[in-house]
């Protein structure tokens, strides 16, 4: 069930379908992205769907995901962890970086309750601060 939810989640994310995304998340969803908030304004904790939407909006204003290649998926209890490699483009400069990332999703009642991002935030900070 959780894997099917993630497949729907990523399809809705690519399409920018916030109505579907909201149906796939718990009302109290929590997003955590650790990084330097002065350069990566989406860094920090974002609570509820409004926080989740703000997180995505901030990322999309600065970056475009050019390519994402999944490497592995691990399921343990209520968690699904997806590891992959991606190419991101800074919207303001057109410069690109290739970075690995790990996305961890915790499920509750068949919905995404928590989303944590682990990536090379220094590479993203360098990309955006050198524009």
- Asked if residues 9 and 21 have their Cβ atoms less than 8 Å apart, the reply is yes
Domains along the chain with CATH numbers: 2-129 (3.10.450.50)
pLDDT digit string, tens, across residues 31-78: 999 999 999 999 999 999 999 999 999 999 999 988 888 899 999 999
Collect contacts of 100-106 with beta carbons under 8 A, ≥24 apart: 100/71, 104/79, 104/80, 105/2, 105/6, 105/79, 105/80, 105/81, 106/78, 106/79
pLDDT digit string, tens, across residues 5-18: 988 998 898 888 99
Mapped onto helix, strand or coil, the DSSP state of residue 52 is helix
């Amino acid at each position: 069930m959780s894997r099917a939810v993630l497949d729907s989640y990523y399809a809705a994310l690519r399409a920018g379908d916030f109505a579907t995304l909201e149906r796939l998340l718990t009302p109290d969803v929590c997003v955590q992205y650790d990084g330097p908030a002065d350069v990566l304004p989406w860094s920090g904790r974002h609570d509820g769907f409004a926080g989740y939407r703000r997180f995505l909006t901030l990322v999309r204003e600065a970056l475009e995901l050019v390519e994402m290649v999944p490497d592995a998926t691990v399921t343990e209890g209520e968690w699904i962890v997806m590891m992959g490699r991606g190419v991101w483009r800074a919207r303001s400069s057109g410069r690109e970086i290739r970075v690995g990332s790990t996305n961890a999703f915790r499920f509750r009642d068949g919905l995404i309750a928590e989303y944590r991002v682990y990536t090379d935030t220094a590479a993203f900070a360098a990309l955006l601060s050198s524009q």
